[in-house]
Structure 1
Amino acid sequence: MTPPLAVDIDGTLTDDRRRVDPRVFPVLREWDAPVVVATGKAFPYPVALCEFLGIPITVIAENGGVVAIEGDEVVFTGDPEGARAVADAYAAAGHGLGWGEPDFVNRWRETELAVSRDQPFDVLERVAEKEGLAVVDTGFAYHVKAPDVDKGQGLLAVAEALDREPSAFAAVGDSENDAAMFAVAGESYAVGNADETAKEAADTVLDERYVDGFLAATEAIRGE
């Protein structure tokens, strides 16, 4: 029996230039169980991916700050006011978010803040702590979020809504923000390009990198 699947986007469904590889389309579309797209990206991105794939909109976005279950229910658990306060304080300290204008990274973000990794981390962490928020490095950006919000909590919410045990899920990812999801899922796979936190948290670390790692993981999950 095919287990439900929770999968990251950047670094997992993509190549090393962050381009979604079309080889994942039939795999996700034909998966014989619920598919959860779990990402640090703003809410519209995973929704659009599900829409164009033609699969139910079941997503964990903004590192758990927004959860949607099969297009019927949307739950917000992040701290948008705190994130805005951090952005203001960071700007007052002389630093921008690093994306230029227009800022498409944060334009539709509803529960957290994403800062380019070429901006000073120590200053960001300091101002975030003053607002009671945490900073997680996804490998693509620094995400400022509520400390009790993560992909693991998002997966728990999805599992409950779908009347599944969290341990029934298989998870695939590549980054520090996937570690909490790995801890909740019954089986977890880190692709070869994953950071050390993700690798240490995963049940299986694959040799294959990026989308090749995802494809290898799905073969292992299905026992192929």
Structure 2
Amino acid sequence: MSPETPPLAVDIDGTLTDDRRALNPRVIPVIRNWPERVVVATGKAMPFPIALCEFLGIERTVIAENGGVVFVESTDRLELVGDKAAADAVAAAYRDQGYDLGFGTVDLANRWRETEIVVQIDQPVAPLEVLAEDHGLVVLDTGYAYHVTDPSVDKGTGLETVCAELDHEPGDFLAVGDSENDAQLFDVAGESVAVANADPTARERADRVTEASYADGFLEAVAPYRE
């Protein structure tokens, strides 16, 4: 007999995707048919998880920008936490030192961000960390980008904000992820699972680690609730 299905908080990149960040179609029916609430928790700007929920056909309850942005559709609540002016100042100073954010002229990675900025993972991180510290911010390495963000927010505080709007506690949730930015989410969730490709911080903070990687790891993580 399967255990009672919990609400689900799930990362996108590296968790619902393959190693090229393409969504694995096998996760679609699982999330669409999940019988409890699903919260999409990501480092991406809000339009990306909102679009994912839209196309999956689920309620738009999202944590974006590593907790800096939280939207709960059922209560029409949008919360923004973070010093975007300071993050923009870091980006400007980084460019003044001769570096580049690395996402091209249009820069879709930063175009819709409201609380932080991101820098391509192949750009120098040491000067970025110095500039971030000078502005009271931190650099978070998600494995996909460097996020210059407010140290007071994370995916864990994001889930707490979601739960304050809804009839849930963070401890009710199953959380699945793969990166350092999922660790605080794991800390507050009732059960946490890192997929096999997860970084050391996520693996250490998770209750269990799957044998499979990427989306196959997600499917393994939720399998006990689907049997």
Shared fold per TM-score greater than 0.5: yes
Is 2:141 the counterpart of 1:137? yes
What's the counterpart of residue 97 of structure 1?
101
In structure 2, what is the Cα distance between the partners aligned to 1:189 and 1:156? 18
Query: After the TM superposition, which residues 1-224 of structure 1 pair with which residues of structure 2 at under 5 Å, given as runs?
Result: 1-70=4-73, 72-220=76-224, 222=225, 224=227
In structure 2, what is the Cα distance between the partners aligned to 1:69 and 1:76? 12
Give 5+ residue unaligned stretches, structure 1: none
1:189 aligns to what SS in structure 2? strand
In structure 1, what is the Cα distance between the partners aligned to 2:82 and 2:218? 28
Alpha-carbon distance, 1:169 to partner: 0.3
Quote the sequence identity (%): 62
Q: What is the one-letter code of the residue matched to 1:198?
A: A
In structure 2, what is the Cα distance between the partners aligned to 1:213 and 1:34? 20
Give 5+ residue unaligned stretches, structure 2: none
Cα shift readout 1:79-111 (whole Å, capped 9, x = no counterpart):
211110100111111111011122111111111
Q: What is the one-letter code of the residue matched to 1:86?
A: V
In structure 2, what is the Cα distance between the partners aligned to 1:82 and 1:39? 21
Q: What is the one-letter code of the residue matched to 1:153?
A: T
Alpha-carbon distance, 1:15 to partner: 0.4
Q: What is the one-letter code of the residue matched to 1:192?
A: A
Q: Does structure 2 conserve the Cα–Cα contact (< 8 Å) formed by 1:64 and 1:78? A: no
1:114 aligns to what SS in structure 2? strand
Aligned length: 223
Alpha-carbon distance, 1:134 to partner: 0.6
Alpha-carbon distance, 1:2 to partner: 1.2
Q: Which runs of 4+ in 1 moved over 6 A?
A: none
Alpha-carbon distance, 1:163 to partner: 1.9
In structure 2, what is the Cα distance between the partners aligned to 1:53 and 1:213? 19
TM-score computed with the length of structure 2 as normaliser: 0.96
In structure 1, what is the Cα distance between the partners aligned to 2:133 and 2:186? 25
